[in-house]
Amino acid sequence: MVDVRVPVLVIGAGPVGLATSLFLGRHGVPTMVLEKRDGTSLLPRAPGLQARTMELFRAAGLGKDIRALEKGDTHAYFEGGIIQVETFAGIDDAVLLERPSLDGPQVSPERVMGCGQDRYEKVLAEKARENGADVRFRTKLLDFVQDEDGVTATAEVLDTGEKLTIRADYLVGADGAGSQVRRTLGVEREGRGTVFHALSIYFQAPELEVLLKGRKFILCYASAGGTLMGLSRLHGINPWLAAPIYHPDQGEKPEDFTDERCVGIVQRAAGKDIDVEIVAKIPWEGAQLVAERFRTGRVFLAGDAAHVHPPAGGFGANTGIHDAHNLAWKLAGVISGWAGDQLLDTYHAERHRVGSAMAAQALVRNRIRHGYATDEDKKAMVDDIIITLGYRYRSTGIAAPMDTPTLTQELALTGEPGTRAPHYWLDRDGERISTVDLFWDHYVLLAPAGEAGQAWADAAVKAADELGVPLRTYLVGTDLVPAEQDRGWADVWGIPEGGAALVRPDAFIAWRGATDEGEPKDVLGKVLAAAAGLEPVTTQA
């Protein structure tokens, strides 16, 4: 007997699971979310939201809700970079380790933002429910099986012991590094494995702000006492977070870290016997592991269930939310009937490459910050803005060579297929928007106004009608008016004379070309079909 039927069952109600549910709901797909915890996070973990993550929230209609959680201007903390001291009392002698580029008005309409999970998870849960999600805490997945038509899961309501049988078309495992979904599937992981063990100590220490003299930073490492300890300002918001490393191979255990010992660790790092109140202690592992596959039939892995890496760089929650966004529009397309199953294969093809690249970059940063990086490590490091905004997709749905690297040493958001569409300010009926704002639930054909552009637009409409794919067309110069004077739109996008670009619902460019490729109706019939995971259709004149 099936108790609940739902298109998509999501396991895990952290940032990734809630984002998956929210994005699907915004596409009109109901979900059920199961989470064994009592509720959303009570601790300000994962406090750095990247510009690309903010773009996704903006596209989903909750950008203002998330931005409203910001307490003061948190951007200055990101600009302060990553520093190292012997003690926090010696802040004047701090050494700059990294000053990553994270955003900029030429590359994104959004800026990075500081906000802990304890605040933004609540908004994600609220908005997911508003968009039709059934979010259930204190409910644990017991098992699941899949067949050709769907997935049958059993779960337990922890407060009552009641058992639920849930039938879903698809299941998404966003249940963390120890993912039960991944283990049930038998999916192996590859990578460096455990790199270090650390203890997150959340604490109150009013005097610490005085010692730091208002210095802005993302992270400050203190080496006093022989134990490297990272301190996060959490972007000016209490409690503070300290993360000392401990060594199980030397007999150290999390339970050895009493409150008294943790106070001593903080005081040694501070260089002064300041008052410290311990709020919480959470042991964790810094590891680098990536699942061999992100799709197994009707079951998908996202976030830490798919890829884990050291927190250096703050890529974890952000990368997981990007997983959720990539997967959600594709599932919505297949469930709605306009996309083919092959589109779901592109989730693994695209996000596995990105997840592996993020994990590698996080490990490089970890080695640099902990002082044992090789010259090869330092050479391999890519600036953060490339990692967060400049990664490249390669799959059967994108008209670009498969061997192009996921990350490059230079940021190049120039309209190349597989990259996020370049940000450019436009005027639409008196409203100032970014090109990034044009994309959510339709493919978009963009072309310069004129005879050639109209031909591309007409051909795109015909191809979309034959394929049954949602599509909008815009001619820049008539439908949309460039709001910038110093940068030409076609130049920024790399649109050749007489050319056009096809952009996916997730703002990634599927194709860019010109009339020398062939008749627009034939070219777009093929590229749009591939972008939607369908068999090619040649439109009729």
Q: Which residues are catalytic?
A: 221
Give Cβ neighbours of residue 312 (< 8 Å, ≥ 6 apart). 362, 363, 365, 366, 369
**Long-range contacts, stretch 90-98, CB < 8 angstroms, 24+ apart:** 90/271, 91/211, 91/212, 91/213, 91/215, 91/220, 92/213, 94/215, 94/217, 94/220, 97/221, 97/368, 97/369, 98/365, 98/368, 98/369
Pair 157, 164: CB distance under 8 Å = yes
- The distance from CA 394 to its chain's CA centroid, rounded to whole angstroms, is 17
- The continuous run of DSSP H or E covering 194 comes out as strand 189-204
Dig out the tokens for 429 from the structure.
């009926």
β pairing state of 219-222 and 82-85: parallel
Report how far residue 442's alpha carbon sits from residue 429's, in angstroms, rounded to the nearest whole number. 20
First and final CA of the chain: distance in angstroms?
A: 52
315: left (phi over 0), alpha (psi -120 to 50) or beta: alpha
Identify the sign of the CA torsion 278, 279, 283, 284. negative
SS (H, E, C) 151-207: EEEEEEECCCCCEEEEEEEEEEECCCCCCHHHHHHCCCEEEEEEEEEEEEEEEECHH
β pairing state of 163-173 and 299-301: parallel
Q: How many C-beta atoms surround the C-beta of residue 187 within 10 A?
A: 20
Pair 176, 326: CB distance under 8 Å = no
Q: Which of 523, 540, 399, 400 is nearest to 456 (CA)?
A: 523
Report how far residue 102's alpha carbon sits from residue 94's, in angstroms, rounded to the nearest whole number. 21
Buried b or exposed e, range 314-345, using 16+ CB within 10 angstroms = bbbbbbbbbbbbbbbbbbbbbbeebbbebbbb
Report how far residue 473's alpha carbon sits from residue 166's, in angstroms, rounded to the nearest whole number. 40
Mapping DSSP to helix (H, G, I), strand (E, B) and coil, where does residue 357 land? Answer: helix
For the chain, the residue count is 541
Dig out the tokens for 66 from the structure.
């998330």
Helix residue spans in 494-537 (DSSP H): 520-531
Report how far residue 490's alpha carbon sits from residue 456's, in angstroms, rounded to the nearest whole number. 15
